[in-house]
Amino acid sequence: MQGSLIDTLARQGVTRRAFLKYCATLASMMALPPAAGRAMAEAMAAAKRPSVIWLPFQECTGCTESITRSHSPTLEGMIFDMISLDYQETLMAAAGHQAEEALRHAMKENAGKYLLIVDGSIPLGQDGAYSCIGGRSNVDLLKEAAQGAAAVIAVGTCASFGGIPKANPNPTGAVSVSDLVQDKPVVNIPGCPPIPVVMTGVLAHYLTFGSLPELDDKKRPKSFFGETIHDRCYRRPFYDQGKFARTFDDEGARQGWCLFELGCKGPVTHNACATVKWNGGTSWPVESGHGCLGCSEPDFWDGGGFYKALSVPADPLKFVAASSVVGAGVGAAVGFANRASKNAARSAHETTTLADLEK
Amino acid sequence: MNALQFLTWVRGPGLNIAIGIFMLGVLWRLLEIYSLGRRKDLSAPRRTAGASGLHTVFRRSLPAPGMLKYSPVSYTAGYLFHIGLVLIVFLFAPHILLIQNAIGLSWPGLPSRFVDMITVVTMAAMVAVLVDRINKAPKRFLSTFEDWFAWTVTFLPVLTGWLAVQHLLLPYPTMLALHILSVEILLIVLPFTKLFHAFTLFGSRWYNGQVNGHKGVPV
C-alpha cells in the first residue's frame, strides 16, 4: 500500500469524522492541548507511511495479539495501516529466507529512518544461543537493527524490563532493550501485554511531531504511565474507607471493595488500565474482581507473590527460629559470664578487720 | 535499584534480617537482665499498705505530686504519643494484615482516616517532647546522643508511614519502602538502646516496687 494515510483509511471506509474523533481522543489521552488533535489529524493524514521493523525475541506473542487482534476492526487496528510494517514474523506472509530478505531490504532502504519495535527480552547467556532467528542470535540482530533505527520502541514488559525470562533465576541471562541500546532513543511500553492505544498513541505522536513523547525515568510515556493504577482506581474510595475484600468470594468481594488485601499491586503500578480499560473499554483486571499484578513494572514476577498484600512480606519470620536460638544462647552465655565474674568477685573478697584499718 | 526492587528488598530480605536481629537482641537482653539476680535480702520485710511491686507498676504511670504542673509537656505529650504509637502500630489495617500473615493472629482495625488523625496527633506530640527537651535546660543537659537518636528512629517510621499513605513528597512505592526501612532500623536498634524499655518497663517497676516494699516505702 502506498500513498498517504487518509487515502488508505478512506479506502477502508473510515470517515473523516471518525478519523478526527480518533485523533482528538488520542490527543486528550496523551494530555496534549486540544489543538494537537487537529495537528495530529493533519500530520497523520498526510504522513508517508514510515517503515517499521518489528523484531520478536524471547516473547510469547501476547503483545502482538493484544495490539492486533483484539481491536480488529476498530481504528486502533487500522492505525497499523499508516505505517509500513516491513517485518513482523507473526503477521507477514513471507517466511524463511524470504522474510529475512524483507528485513534486510527494509533496513537498507530506510537506513536511519525506520522505527524499530522490539517485543521480548534478549538472552545473553551462552553467547545468546537461547534464542536465534535465521541462525543469528537475538543480541546480534538487535544491535544491527538498532544501528539504522530512528528510534527503538520496546513493546511489552519483556522488551522493556526483561519480564518473565529475566525472572529469578534468569536462566537465559535475559536483558531488556535499553540494557543493550544506549545510543538511540528508546521508548518503553511495558505491560503484559501492553494496552493497544498506548502503542498507537506513541506512533501517532511520532508521526505528528516527529519526536517521541515525554518519558518518565523508566522511559515510559508519561501521558499513559504518569499515574498509578491505585490513583485512578474506581475502587479507591473503599481503600480510603478501609473496606477490603478478604477473600475472592466474601461479602466485600461481592460489594466490589478494595482488593489491596488480596494482593493488588495497584499502588505501585504505573499504567493506564484504570482509565483506558481493555477490550475496547469493556473492563479491566480490577473491575473483573482481580487485583492488579503490576505487570508494567520492572521485575513484577519477583515482587513477593501476586496474592500477598503489598504490606505483607513473603516470609518475614524466616530467620526467627535461628535468631531466637542464637539470642537465647548469647543471653545465657552473657548471664553465665556475669555470674562467673560475680562469683569471682565474691571469692576474691577479703574481709577487712579492725586491725587492717589501723595499719 | 529501582523503587520496586527497593521495596521488594526491604519487605523481603531486609525485613527478615531486621526481625531476626530484633528477636536475637530481645532474647539476649531479657535473658541477660533477668539472669543477673540479686542477693537475698535477709532483713525482715516491713510491709506498708501500698508498697509492693504491682502497686509501683501502676503508680509510676501517674505523675508524682506536683510534677504535672512542673513538666506538663512530658506527661501529656508523652502519654499522647505512646498511646498513638500503640494504636497506629496495632490497629492500622495494613499492619494487622502484616501480623496476620506472619503469625496468623488478626483483629479488627480502625478506619484509615481515623488512624490518619491519630498519626498527626502522635507526630505533633513527639515534636512537642523534642522541643521541650531542647528548651528545658536540665533536660537538654541530661540528654545524650542516644536520646536524640532514639527519638529520631521512633519518629521516622511514623513520618514516612504518614507520608506514604498521604502520597506526599515521594512516589508511593519509594515512600513505602522508606517507611519499611525506617521500621527495620527501629527493630534493629530497639533491643540495644533505651527503647528496650518497651520490654523492661513493667519488670523494672515491679522490681523497684518489690525492693522498696520490702523496706516499707511506697514509691
Say how many CA atoms lie within 13 Å of A92 toward its Cβ: 21
Please give the ipTM for the structure prediction: 0.78
Reply yes or no on whether the pLDDT at B45 is more than 70: yes
Q: Identify which of A239, A299, A330 has the shortest CB distance to residue B8.
A: A299
Residue B123 in this model has a pLDDT that exceeds 60? yes
Cβ of A267 within 8 Å of Cβ of B176? The answer is yes
The residue of B6, B8, B170, B179 whose CB has the most chain A CBs within 10 angstroms, and thus the best one to mutate to test that interface, is B8
Q: What is the model's pLDDT at position A3?
A: 60
Residue carrying the nine cell digits 571469692: A347
B3 and A268 in contact by Cβ < 8 A? yes
Using CB atoms, which residue from A310, A313, A339 is nearest to B15? A313
Asked if pLDDT for residue A312 goes beyond 80, the answer is no
Q: Which CATH number fits domain A49-225: 3.30.300.30, 3.40.50.700, 3.30.390.50, 3.50.50.60?
A: 3.40.50.700
Per-residue pLDDT of A11-32, as tens digits, reads 777 788 888 887 887 777 777 7
DSSP annotation of B10: I
For the domain made up of A229-302, give the CATH fold: Cytochrome-c3 Hydrogenase; Chain A, domain 2 (4.10.480)
Quote the pLDDT of residue A72.
43
**Domain edges within chain A:** 49-225, 229-302
- The answer to whether residue A8 scores a pLDDT higher than 80 is no
Residue A30 buriedness (CB in 10 A; 0-12 / 13-18 / 19+): buried
What is chain A's mean pLDDT, rounded? 86
What distance in Å separates the CA atoms of residue A280 and residue A76, rounded to the nearest whole number? 9
Q: A172: pLDDT confidence band, cut at 50, 70 and 90?
A: very high
Q: Closest CB to A317: pick one of B19, B26, B167.
A: B19
Residue of chain B whose alpha carbon sits nearest to that of A260 = B94
| Cα A288 off chain centre by | 21
> Does the beta-carbon distance from A268 to B176 stay under 8 Å?
yes
The whole-number average pLDDT for the span A242-266 is: 90
List Cβ<8 Å contacts ≥24 apart for A71-77: A71/A196, A71/A280, A74/A280, A75/A14, A75/A18, A75/A19, A75/A22, A76/A196, A76/A197, A76/A200
- Confirm if B201 and B33 have CB atoms less than 8 A apart: no
Per mean pLDDT, which range of A73-77, A80-84, A233-237, B16-20 is the poorest? A73-77
Report the candidate in A182, A189, A57, A194 with the shortest Cα–Cα distance to residue A123. A57
pLDDT at A73: 45
pLDDT tens per residue, range B95-110: 998 888 888 899 999 9
**Chain B residues touching residue A312 (CB < 8 angstroms):** 11, 97-98, 101
Give me the pLDDT at residue A121, please: 96
Q: In this complex, how many residue pairs, one in chain A and one in chain B, have their CB atoms less than 8 Å apart?
A: 138
Kindly report the number of other CB atoms within 10 A of residue A281's CB atom: 10
**Range of weakest confidence among A167-181, A246-260, A303-317, A331-345:** A303-317
Q: Give the helix, strand, coil percentages of chain A, each rounded to 5.
A: 50, 15, 40
* Residue A1 binned pLDDT confidence (cut-offs 50, 70, 90): very low
pLDDT tens-digit map of A19-78:
888 788 777 777 777 777 777 777 777 766 778 899 999 999 999 888 775 554 455 555
- Residue B175 pLDDT > 60: yes
Nearest chain A Cα distance for residue B144, angstroms:
26
In chain B, the percentage of residues whose pLDDT exceeds 90 is 62
**Which ranges constitute the DSSP H helices of chain B?**
3-9, 15-34, 53-59, 67-70, 72-91, 93-103, 112-135, 137-142, 145-166, 172-189, 197-215
Average pLDDT (A122-149) is 93
Query: What is the b/e burial string over B114-142, where b = at least 16 CB atoms within 10 angstroms of the residue's CB?
Result: ebbebbebbbebbebbbebbeeeeebeee
The DSSP letter of residue A195 is P
A231 SS3 class: helix
Determine, for residues A304 and B8 on separate chains, whether the beta-carbon distance falls below 8 Å: yes
The residue with greater pLDDT, A7 or A132, is A132
Which residue type occupies B15?
Answer: L
